[in-house]
Amino acid sequence: MSAPAVGGGANRREFLGLFAAGSLVLVLQRGSALAQLAEPESADDLQPDLFVSLDPEGTVTIVAHRSEMGTGIRTSLPLVLADELGADWDRVRLSQALGDARYGDQNTDGSRSVRQFHGRMRQAGATLRTLLERAAATRLEVPVEELETREHRVWHAASERSLDFKDLVADARALPLPDVEALVLRPRESWRLAGPRPVRDVPLYDLDDLVTGRGTFGIDARLDGQLFAVIARPPVVGGSAKSFDGKNARAVPGVTDVVPIEASRAPHGFQALGGVAVLAQSTFAALQGRRALVIEWEDGANASYDSEAYAEALTETARQPGRVLRDEGDAQAQLAEAQQEERFEADYHVPHLAHASLEPPCALARIEFDGERVVGAELWAPTQNPQAAQQAVGAALEIEPDAVRVHVTLLGGGFGRKSKPDFLVEAALLARHAKRPVHVLWTREDDLGHDYFHAVASMHMKARLGPGGMPVAWLQRSAFPPIGSTFAPNQRYGGAGEMGMGFTDVPYQIPNLRVENGPADAHVRIGWLRSVAHIYHAFAVCSFPDELAHRAGRDPYEYLMALLGEDRRVSLEGVAYSNHGHSLDEYPIDTARLAHVTRRAAQLAGWGRKLPAGRALGIACHRSFLSYCANVVEVEVSKSGVVAIPKVWVVIDAGLVVHPERVRAQMEGAAVFGTSLALYGEITAKAGRIQQTNFHQHPLARMHEAPREIEVEIVEHDGPPAGVGEVGVPPFAPALCNAIYAATGHRIRRLPLARHDLSHG
């Protein structure tokens, strides 16, 4: 039985081989302390968090512990280490980490990889650099302070002498590890690979494999003797197979078994959904077998779920008083006292959304037995969170998480779906039953019908308007089934994290402000999707000012800047907030930075220029994942209502930027992703069943519908690194819809645009 090649990963024996005798190994343990520098005796003795090795040939090996799904994080974080070390990138090798809690957080979502590990990577690189410099100082008989590393050599400028890294391995291994406190990090102006102005452009580490088709994704993973499986899952969440007949399925050539899987019960967490699996010698045979199954379903408690009726009920909930989360001044009194002509209110709605990544969920599992007892499991999968997979698979197999080895392949898209490891649990359960490797594949129909859907949400906005049409009082409410409903019973309100995604942290300068949240029950599995609650909160919070501006007869950009008010740091005293785990001192809500990106986006777009009829600009700005982003969208709407997007301008301030090319790519991708969501993004349900089955019913933006041109400007800021991957999405839809109103007079308060007739005279 041979192990598959999966995205540069290694099994534990291969892993040890990366650090063969004679290599210099630097291990960074979880926490602040560096581990002892030593040559490992066995794979079990090697317990790294972040680490780098230098072999006698001079090759630097850096372990990438995050998942690569097109964001470039498998390149960007190692780039930081290599730059701090002074390595030649052409002599750097990456190895994909197994899932292991000792690496620290491996969950590649939440736009936090660089933010969480930038400092650790620099520390690791600086430690290895210090060892090499000290070894070179002894060899060259010069003070260590006179040395520097660059291009894989330690240089002494005064004598014009240098030593290659490979020449210093043996000497450096004999030195004691430097104290962390004594490390001197490179000044930013000396960075060559990472940072806002790299000397050398570094493409994705996996680029050649990706463009030539050699990259190994989860769907490609193979083991000798494996079976292929597809599963008929309950069409309604919480349902089960009342009875089934697998006789016809077993008769299909290539089918080896038909296996019932125990039904999931709420809260569903990362359990397998249950149903009936067909195991076969090929995916084709498994699919044919599944078609031949005869199943009678028991739909369960969610059988009456109707998304259209639910949307109406949710909007009504948002109109009613809810839990008060932020209350400044006395918005209630101000609104109660307002004359009719002073009041303005609007309701906004965003439907369920699906992840719909190009590569659907899939996983290959192999189980280890001691007699009949399961003692371990090994999986290969496109997972964003291998540690969650260890936990979920361990629980399902009743073994310790440490006995579950998870190899991370390349991911054909993720958007948050692949951080939820239910599909790995399915593969593990079936491999245990079959006692041979099993590869589970979700079809597109499976993916759309059984997703962890992004929450449907309704927002109610109300303002009392004073001089110049500016709000003197502002009330906003949202209601949505929370992510917590997937993991705990009786969860009906948004958590501090969800509410702090563009709602409780609203940055506008309003003397009387009130933020509330209403209850909502979940009838499907709710999960996070790229940008999470910012998607629906930004749609309302960035659309409402545009409505107020037009009502006041004012320019929307000028009105938005006035609403942001004076440069300040927004206080959330007395408000429950998460700020992604950081204090407001470290990552403040800085309206000056938000105003700056808004101003620059307007300048780049030539805001105020005259455009032909049916063509207009829309603007929106938003803080998310600790970064600041503004979008200006130029839209062209034909008289028959066909929408085209000639150009989008994006300005982002993400603090310290590690890989500018990847930031630009993420902003471009966000505009295209946002286009799909705005034009078509919608999942609906009738009788508990999801109505969309494939891309003919759930289209994505095609090339002629995507923005024709996307201009990105990255603000250079000396603040700490913040998020990037999700930041460009939230302001896109409101900017687009604001532009559509300016071009046609059609105000969009409910997404997607496909629901609306935008024809105009």
Q: Is there a single domain that holds both residue 393 and residue 338? A: no
State which residues form the domain around 47: 12-212
Does residue 417 fall inside a structural domain? Answer: yes
Regarding whether 466 and 404 lie in a shared domain, the answer is: no
In this structure, are residues 405 and 434 in contact, taking their beta carbons and an 8 Å threshold? no
User: Is-cis flag, bond preceding 382, omega within 30?
Assistant: no
How confident is the model over 197-215, as pLDDT tens digits? 999 889 999 999 999 999 9
Q: Residue 550 and residue 291: Cα distance in Å, rounded?
A: 55
* DSSP labels, 145-203: GGEEEETTEEEETTTTEEEEGGGGHHHHHTSPPPPGGG--PPPGGG-SSSSSS-SS---
Contact 677, 751 (CB under 8 A): yes
User: Do 322 and 204 lie in a common domain?
Assistant: no
Whether 7 is covered by a domain: the verdict is no
Q: Which two tokens stand for residue 235?
A: 């069409």
- The arithmetic mean of pLDDT across residues 132-149, rounded, is 97
Q: 537 - beta bridge partners?
A: none
Q: Does 723 map to a domain?
A: yes
Q: 211 exposed, middle or buried (CB, 10 Å; 0-12, 13-18, 19+)?
A: exposed
| Per-residue pLDDT, 50 | 56
Question: Quick one: 345 and 374 in the same domain?
Answer: no
CA 226, 230, 234 angle in degrees (round to 5)?
A: 145
Q: What is the mean pLDDT of residues 580-598?
A: 97
Of 440, 450, 421, the closest CA to residue 239 belongs to: 450
Cα(658)–Cα(660) distance, integer angstroms: 6
- Identify whether residues 276 and 342 lie together within a single domain: no
- Look at residues 173, 197, 212 and tell me which one is the last residue of a structural domain: 212
3 belongs to a structural domain: no
Rg (CA), the chain: 28
Mean pLDDT on 422-440: 98
C-alpha to C-alpha distance for 522 and 305, rounded to whole angstroms = 10
Residue 431 and residue 368 share a domain: yes
- pLDDT band at residue 51 using 50, 70 and 90 as cut-offs: low
Which positions ≥6 away from 560 have C-beta within 8 Å?
545, 546, 549, 598, 619, 621
Per-residue pLDDT reduced to its tens digit, 379-428? 999 999 999 999 999 999 999 999 999 999 999 999 999 999 999 999 99
Q: How many CA atoms lie within 13 A of 507 on its CB side?
A: 28
Q: How far apart are CA 674 and CA 668, in angstroms?
A: 10
Which candidate, 221, 218, 214, 205, places its Cα nearest to that of 61? 205
Residues 677 and 709 in one domain: yes
Q: For strands 227-232 and 240-245, give the pairing.
A: unpaired
- In which element (H, E) is residue 347 found? strand 343-350
Give the model confidence (pLDDT) of 488-531 as tens digits: 999 999 999 999 999 999 999 999 999 999 999 999 999 999 99
Asked if residue 4 is part of any domain, the answer here is no
Q: Are residues 472 and 433 in the same domain?
A: no
Q: How far apart are the first and last CA of the chain?
A: 68
| 80 part of a folded domain | yes
Q: How far apart are CA 478 and CA 459, in angstroms?
A: 4
Residues 293 and 178 in one domain: no
The reply to whether omega before 752 is within 30° of 0 (cis) is yes
Residue 34 has pLDDT above 80, yes or no: no
User: Are residues 95 and 139 located together in one domain of the fold?
Assistant: yes
Last residue of a domain, one of 212, 227, 248: 212
Residues 319, 171 share a domain: no
How do strand 92-96 and strand 60-64 relate by DSSP bridges?
parallel
Q: Three-state SS for 443? A: coil
pLDDT at residue 739 greater than cutoff 70: yes
Inform me whether the pLDDT recorded for 348 exceeds 90.
Answer: yes
Q: Is residue 650 part of a domain?
A: yes
Q: What is the C-alpha separation between 629 and 621, in angstroms, rounded? A: 6
> Which of these, 620, 116, 4, lies nearest to 362 by C-alpha position?
4
Name the pLDDT band for 103 (thresholds 50, 70, 90): confident
Whether the bond between 267 and the residue before it is cis, its omega within 30 degrees of 0, is yes
Specify whether 525 is located in the same domain as 462. yes
Q: Are 524 and 305 in contact (CB under 8 A)?
A: yes
- Structure-block tokens of residue 677: 């969501």
CATH number of the domain encompassing residue 26: 3.30.365.10
Chain length of the chain: 761
Task: Return the structure tokens found at 651.
Answer: 């300005």
pLDDT at 571 > cutoff 50: yes
3-state DSSP call for residue 448?
A: helix
Domain end position, chosen among 212, 228, 250: 212
Q: The tokens of 152 are what? A: 């894989």
| Between residues 721 and 46, the one the model is more confident about | 721
When divided into structural domains, the chain yields a total of 3
CA atoms of 275 and 262, how far apart (whole Å):
7
Instruction: For 288-312, write each residue's pLDDT tens digit.
Output: 999 999 999 999 999 999 999 999 9
Q: Establish if 2 belongs to a structural domain.
A: no
pLDDT at res. 22: 41
Residue 276, beta-bridge partner list = 232, 260
> Cβ neighbours of residue 159 under 8 Å, at least 6 residues apart?
140, 142
Span 244-266, average pLDDT:
97
Share of the chain above pLDDT 90, in %: 89
Residue 54 is given by DSSP the state E
Give yes or no for a contact between 501 and 213, defined as CB atoms under 8 angstroms apart: no
